[in-house]
Amino acid sequence: MSKFSAALGPRYEENRMSIMTRTFVLGDHTFKVKVPSVGEMEIMNDKLKNPDQEEIDLVYKELTADIEVLRNELNSDVRFEKDDIFIGDRSMKEAAKNKVVVKYRITQYMKLIVPDSGASLDDLTYQDIEDEFPFAIQMQFMDKILEVLSPSYKEIREK
């Protein structure tokens, strides 16, 4: 039992979940989002800063497989360096890292959605999300979730 629970009583404990959730509407559906604790946000941010190198390597191989096959037929905009391929000034390793980070961010934020039933989204994968929603809709979810988690000062004043 926390200090708040002890001080505010059983009614607070009963209503704690409603205090820790926000809602948004997308389409005609209202979604509830759990507001993560500071510790949960730190874990998510650490993972975003230090994505899994094995996953980056896998995505890099996917992104560059066709480029490697066509290596001798490509124009001068494609540069092959020791451990990376550049198209113009864009690093394919950096593109792979960005893709991994975006997939992780989308997955983690979608896990914050509170299911209507007793179900859990703890084991949600990016593949599950991708199978259900096109990327444009995924980005709308991200915008809405971030909006309810971090409303701007202007939005707070208007309420």
| pLDDT surpasses 90 at 126 | yes
C-alpha to C-alpha distances, 84 to 63, 95, 99, 154, nearest whole angstrom: 11, 11, 16, 44
pLDDT (0 to 100) of residue 33: 94
C-alpha to C-alpha distances, 151 to 34, 38, 72, 128, nearest whole angstrom: 14, 16, 51, 28
pLDDT (0 to 100) of residue 95: 96
The percentage of the chain sitting over the pLDDT mark of 90, rounded to a whole number, equals: 53
Tens digit of each residue's pLDDT (9 = 90 or more) over 70-125: 777 767 788 888 899 888 889 999 999 999 999 999 999 999 999 988 788 989 99
Q: Which residues pair with 22 in a beta bridge?
A: 33
Q: Say which residue the tokens 């701007």 belong to.
A: 152
What is this structure's pTM? 0.81
Amino acid present at 148: V
